[in-house]
Chain A
Amino acid sequence: MLNFSGVTYMNSTGIALIVGLLAQARKQKRRLVTFGLSDHYREIFEITRLSDFMTLYASEQAALAGE
């Protein structure tokens, strides 16, 4: 579970890091979920299609409940 609350800046290097993490999780057949993304970065996750591979929850409770 990745906590993005409080993240106000992320660039393409950060996206690459998450892609790498996602590839590793998939190899180990583990799920990756996030919460706390700002609207702007949620949009970026959608455009880069990261949201197709990980569920973006609004809060930690929602993410835990989603399990």
Chain B
Amino acid sequence: MLEINKIKLDSPALRALRGAGVALALPLTNQGELVALVNIGPRNSEQEFSSDDRELLRKLAAHAAPAVRIALLLEAQRRETEERERIQQELQVAQLVQKTLLPSEIPDVPGYNLAWHYQPARAVGGDFYDFIALRDGKVALVIADVTDKGVPAALVMATTRATLRAACRDSVSPGEILGRANEYLCPDIPPKMFVTCFMAVLDTLSHTMVYANAGHDVPYMLRASDGQIGELRARGMPLGLFAGMPYEEKQLTMAEGDRILFYTDGLVEAHNRSRDMLGFGEVQNLIRAHGAGSGLIERLLAAQAEFTGPGWEQEDDTTLIVLERVAPQVIHEDRAMKADDWSRLAAFETTSEPGNEREVMRQVAGVIGELLPAKQLERLKTAVAEATMNAIEHGNNNRPELMVGVEVARSASQIAVRISDHGGGPAVPEPAVPDLDAKLAGLQSPRGWGSSSSRNWSMR
């Protein structure tokens, strides 16, 4: 207990207490710690505090100190809980934001099946994947892994994703894109952090894939022809370490049934109880054993779960992407065509150069010749020319090196001509009956007669 007026000292604190008219300062201590200071003014009677008064205050202080301490501890705990809840909530929002940075819909990759799995070890992660539509029916597949996990990795992930997207804007070369992204990222990424990234650019029309690798785990390709596994190796340093790095480009062709697994180290580096890793060899075995058919991702995840055992706490972010080339689908196959007994009269190909539709028309007419009356043959010729033009323009995007397939078949009562293309480009809408009045009034493009007229002819 301190009698303020009797302290022979001068300090700003004492001056303040004296100024406020404090006569006694009563420290509340608990377990050797100062919990609070009770300041008491002079007695109303203007007499000094008696020894009874002091005794009462001393007892009061002894009882109050632990109670005040507990109250303060509870308050601190409440604040801490609030803070933790706030951080938790912020993490949840961060998780939502990160989700919007990852593609949620299957991109339109004609002729291919695409499946993926993404599971960060914490609320947010440093793994990411991306699918970016490029020029000429090409699509870029990206899988990447930022060092570390959690919030720091997620921040670098967001930067890297945006940088890669920007670098894709005027290039279709994965080596060039990675090189450019590396230049941008080097000054922006904190030291000791980097990003491994594999980028593949798939041409869905020619089925060639050009790829480059910035130090990422090598994807595996299972060849349908011999069941062997190939590795998609290409030299390149991780992004964000050193400026001016070159990224080697390699190329492959995907045949029907070929599939590629892209993954991050969360899969191969999962440990079991005796601290062994699942390992690259085992992943290859699993791909080979699975063979064709869907569900490879589920199978790999099941194998991982079995390996690590129950109650395993996920160590690192895990991302898996499986790309598979599938057999082309025949969309409109006439039921009558299936029922009949057909024989093929001719099958040939032509390049996608404007004007080639006339050659196709001439050849088809030559094959059919007298099988149709002249008038019907004229109609068929127009339909064949229009369908071929559509295949060149829309199916093959006017790329001269791509082929248009032509097949002529006959049954006892029918003749069929099938024109096929590489199925690229945007979907051709159902042919609407063109409105000539609207076209003449300038409300519709003067073009757009092809599929309607072919349909008219083929239905007759």
Contact = CB atoms under 8 A, between A and B. Distances in A.
Contacts of B361: 9
Interface in A1-23: 9, 11-13, 15-17, 19-20, 22-23
A20 B446 CA distance: 6
A17, A20, A39 interface centre (most CB from chain B within 10 Å): A20
Interface string A45-57: 0011110110000
Given A9-B358, A48-B453, A23 B447 contact: no
Interface string A16-36: 110110110010000000000
Interface in B430-447: 434, 436, 439-442, 445-447
Nearest to B441: A23
Contacts of B447: 12-13, 16
Contacts of B358: 9
B235 interface: no
Contacts of B375: 39-40
Nearest to B444: A19
Contacts of B385: 9, 11
B386 interface: yes
Main secondary structure of the interface of B (DSSP, over half): helix
Given A13-B447, A23-B441, A39-B378, 10 more contacts: A9-B361, A9-B385, A11-B385, A12-B447, A12-B448, A17-B446, A20-B446, A23-B439, A48-B434, A49-B436
Contacts of B386: 11-12
A9 to B, nearest CB: 6
B379 interface: yes
Interface size class of B (residues with CB under 8 A): 20 to 34
Given A11-B357, A12-B453, A39-B375, A48 B436 contact: yes
Contacts of A20: 446
A49 B434 CA distance: 10
A16 B442 contact: no
A63 interface: no
Nearest to A26: B440
B449 interface: yes
Interface of B: 357-358, 361, 375, 378-379, 382, 385-386, 389, 434, 436, 439-442, 445-450, 453, 456
A47 B379 contact: no
B382 A44 contact: yes
B166 to A, nearest CB: 38
A47 B453 contact: yes
Nearest to A21: B446
A24 B448 CA distance: 18
A53 B449 contact: no
B169 to A, nearest CB: 32
A58 to B, nearest CB: 18
Given A11-B357, A12-B386, A13-B447, A44 B453 contact: yes
23 contacts: A9-B358, A11-B357, A11-B382, A11-B385, A12-B386, A12-B447, A12-B450, A13-B447, A15-B449, A16-B446, A16-B448, A17-B446, A19-B446, A20-B446, A22-B440, A23-B440, A23-B446, A39-B378, A40-B375, A44-B382, A44-B453, A47-B453, A53-B436
A34 B164 CA distance: 58
Contacts of B446: 16-17, 19-20, 23
A34 to B, nearest CB: 15
A56 B181 CA distance: 63
Contacts of B436: 19, 48-50, 52-53
A23 B439 CA distance: 8
A47 B440 contact: no
Contact of A53 (B379, B434, B440): B440
Contacts of A47: 453, 456
A17 B439 CA distance: 11
A12 to B, nearest CB: 4
B358, B434, B440, B456 interface centre (most CB from chain A within 10 Å): B440
A13 B446 CA distance: 9
Contacts of A44: 382, 453
Contacts of A53: 436, 440
B75 to A, nearest CB: 80
Contacts of B439: 19, 23
A23 B442 contact: yes
B378 A40 contact: yes
A52 B437 CA distance: 10
Nearest to A38: B378
B148 to A, nearest CB: 58
Nearest to B451: A12
A12 B387 CA distance: 11
B82 to A, nearest CB: 69
